[in-house]
Structure 1
Amino acid sequence: MSELLYIKTSANGERSRSSQLCEHFIRQRLQATPETQVIQRDLVSEPLPHLGPEQWDALRLPPSQLSAAQLAYRRCSDRLIAEFDRADTVVIALPLYNAGIPSQLKAYFDLLARAGISFEFTEQGPRGLLRDKDLHLIATRGGSLAPADDHQIPAVKQLLGLLGITRIHSLIADGLDLSPDSREVSLTNAYERLAALA
């Protein structure tokens, strides 16, 4: 049985277009491979702590030097890394907020990226230690971006590359708030591409 990890990041609830696209993709995948087990992690309804001095030390100091709260944060990181590493496929809903990724997703990556655990430093640069897998970034944007202004897809690819994930498939539905026609065309194209991917 294969395992699919779905990471939901939108603050827009049921109206979220990134979530709607991801869930359409997952339904299509389940039709093709019904034995797939889906694990959902909603970073908005179950938020993770953002990185601060206490959290920084929790991931770097020996356990004997940590408080109970810091040990809990460290165990959370251990669980998230194991969950991510175990999955055969990962799907990330990726809306664009104020020219960047949701802060909830950055908090998640801060818990995943641990030197000596999920990546290591070498003379040639960082090397990922997690199992490579197919990872689908399903991104939405109200407008459109020039490549030089894109701090959404490249930023997430860089973070994933740090962990050793190279099989990254990106789908972008943009222009969603420009006009009704633009939204319809973009979403129609996105749904067609998702059906092909699934």
Structure 2
Amino acid sequence: MARVLAIKSSLLGSDGSSSQLVDEFLSLWRNTHPEDKITEKNLAEDPVPHLDLNTFSAFMVAGDKRDAEQNKATALSDELTQQFLETDIVVLGVPMYNLGIPSVLKAYFDHIARAGLTFKYTEAGPVGLAGGKKVYLLSARGGIYQDSAWDFQSTYIKGILNFMGVTDITSVYADGLAISPDHKKAAMDQALQEVRDLV
């Protein structure tokens, strides 16, 4: 049994194009892998708070040396990080906002990119500790950004995942959704078919 974590980050919730790609993926995955445990997380409906000084400072204290307030400050991050570490397959639904990722998704990554847990520093540079996962990156963008220098969205996501040791990443892009209704339909049809082929 594999553990699957599906994360949506569209402000439009389930109506978002990236969310529709995730829903299609999960529907097919449930049919073909009924024994797997799937956890869904919608960051638009249940956002992860941005890091504050109390939480970040508590990260710097070893777990067995934190006081009650520090344990409270890191509780959510500890939970999210443990969930990520225990997950075998991650499905990310990611729209592009202003050339980047939604701030709620950035906040999520800030909570799970933890020194000593998902990565460590060495004299030879940082080493990821969260490897061994498969990630499906399902992206939706208004313009055509694939293989473009403007694609900071997927560049960042792949970068932070690689930083944590996750290198097995497969991407599906629905590009040009804001160009015209016809282009949106064609792009979504193609992306949905790519999702079906993957599953």
Paired residue for 2:151? 150
Q: 1:61: how far off?
A: 2.7
Paired residue for 1:50? 50
Q: 1:187: how far off?
A: 0.7
For residues 15-164 of structure 1, what are the structure 2 equivalents within 5 Å?
A: 15-62=15-62, 64=65, 68=69, 70-145=70-145, 147-164=148-165
Paired residue for 1:176? 177
Structure 2 residue runs without a partner (length 5+): none
Give every structure 1 segment of 4 or more consecutive aligned residues whose post-TM-superposition deviation is greater than 2 Å: 61-68, 70-73
Counterpart code for 1:180: P
Counterpart code for 1:155: Y
- Alignment RMSD: 1.5
User: Greater CA deviation, 41-50 or 171-180?
Assistant: 41-50
* Alignment length (residue pairs): 197
Q: 1:172: how far off?
A: 0.7
Counterpart code for 1:82: Q
User: Greater CA deviation, 44-53 or 58-67?
Assistant: 58-67
TM-score by length of 1: 0.93
Task: Indicate if the aligned counterparts of 1:58 and 1:66 stay in contact, CA closer than 8 A.
Answer: no
Identity of aligned residues (%): 38
Describe the SS at the equivalent of 1:148.
coil
User: Greater CA deviation, 30-39 or 70-79?
Assistant: 70-79
